Structures are given as structure tokens and as C-alpha cells.
Amino acid sequence: MFDAQKVTKDVIKWIRDYFDATASPTTPCVIGISGGKDSSIVAALCAEALGKDRVIGVMMPSGVQSDIDVARDLCDFLGIKKFEVNVGEAVSALKGAVQSTGLEFNDVATINTPARIRMTVLYAVSAIFSGRVANTCNLSEDWVGYSTKFGDAAGDFSPLSRFTVTEVKAIGKALGLPDKFVEKTPIDGLSGKTDEDNLGFSYATLDRYIREGIIDDDAVKQNIDRRHRNNLHKLQLMPCFEYEG
């Protein structure tokens, strides 16, 4: 049985201990705030662990973001500092520079490039404040590669990457976050489809398979296994040739 109250306290202590061991008493954490459950819950955990004055939320729309108000509301609800950096022009400039060589962006480049530019922004803000960047990935998304390597998969510390979506939501509720931050349906921001539409299965199905090894549909099992196998490189350290001379 997942004890959300205990786990939440444990994660808060873990964050506090990490900063005590690696940073000064005033070092802030920097979080990319999308308005979705993961960034909202990480921000709330960090505010509890460090105090709201040491949490910096960075909103990074690419052009127009229809749900940006949810991200703003989250920052206001927690009382944390917030900055808004629109990455739309940077994305367009990079795309144009690549296309000037005669290359054309495919779907993978189109989806991943904004995420990598956002991570560059987070590390720029972190450098300005001498902070630490929070990773906001969860176990379910990582399991099937639903993250961008060197984009949202990057960070200095990761409070949620060992928890499934179901468990993350339970932590959000234990923190007392309003449902609009915990239950917001994740959408890819490009096609208008939900994460579950793109994956071809629900997070509830995936979470049960991860934790219990149980799945009813063999085709879905094969889909999950294939995604997990093909995306393990995102979860492992970069292989290095070991010189033994």
C-alpha cells in the first residue's frame, strides 16, 4: 500500500538533505513550470523543503500557450518567484538556421528541440541565481521514453522519477494542492492530443504493469515493452570506452 503522507514527508526531507549537503543555505531551486502535475508537485515539494523564497518558477511558452494561466496560478498559489521566458523566437531561429543548410525538421526534431531550449533557459536562470535545476520527470513517463534526452529529462536532482503517475498524484493530494494542478490532463502541446492518446494506453494500465507486472492486453504489453527497451538509453549513463593502458 502506497503511504502518500509518509512518502511526501520523506521526499521533502530528501530534498532538504540534498541542498544541505551540496549547496549553501540560500541556494535556490529552479523549476520549469508548465502547469502540469509534475512541475506543480515538484515546486510544492521544494517550497515545503526549502521555503518559498528559495524556489524559482520559470514559465517557458513557445509562442502562445493556451493554458499558461494554470502555470501562473500555481506560482501565485505557492507564493514563489516567477519569470516568464518565451522560447518561441529561439526555437524558430534554431529551426531556420538548420533549414538554411538544406535540412528539414522532422517530427522528432520538432518535438524535442523546444524541450532542449527550455532546459538551456533553466540552466541560464540557475547560473544567474547560483541555483540547482529540478528535474520533473516521473517513473511512468521515463519508463516508456516520454521525455526528451537533455531536455526535460535533465536536471540536478529528481524528486519524482521513482514514482508512477498514480503515486505522483497521491503525493500532490497529500501536499494539499488543488485538483486543477494535480488532475490536469497532460497534452503534448503540438498535436493537441493527450499523452495517453499518443502512447496508446492509459497511465493506470502502465502503472499497474510497472508495479505489479499485470497487464490484460498483450498488444499493449508489447507496445510498452518496445518503448521501454528502445528508450533505456535515456535512463542510463552515457557509455564510455574504458582505457586500460
pLDDT grade, residue 190 (50/70/90)?
low
The CATH number of the domain holding residue 41 is: 3.40.50.620
What contacts 168, CB < 8 A, 6 or more positions away? Answer: 37, 38, 41, 138, 160
pLDDT at 189 over 80: no
What is the Cα gyration radius of the chain? 18
Classify residue 61: in a domain, yes or no. yes
Domain extent, residue 14, equals 4-186
What integer pLDDT is reported at residue 245 of this predicted model? 87
Classify residue 218: in a domain, yes or no. no
Helix ranges restricted to H, 100-217? 107-129, 139-143, 165-174, 179-182, 195-199, 203-212
What contacts 125, CB < 8 A, 6 or more positions away? Answer: 30, 56, 58, 83, 85, 131
- Determine contact, residues 132/29, Cβ cutoff 8 Å: yes
Classify residue 235: in a domain, yes or no. no
Cβ neighbours, 10 Å, residue 219: 10
pLDDT at 64 over 70: yes
Number of folded domains in the chain? 1
What integer pLDDT is reported at residue 68 of this predicted model? 94
Classify residue 15: in a domain, yes or no. yes
Residue 173, classed as helix, strand or coil, is helix
What integer pLDDT is reported at residue 244 of this predicted model? 93
Classify residue 229: in a domain, yes or no. no
| Per-residue pLDDT tens over the stretch 94-148 | 999 999 999 999 999 999 999 999 999 999 999 999 999 999 999 999 999 999 9
What contacts 93, CB < 8 A, 6 or more positions away? Answer: none
What integer pLDDT is reported at residue 241 of this predicted model? 93
pLDDT at 191 over 90: no
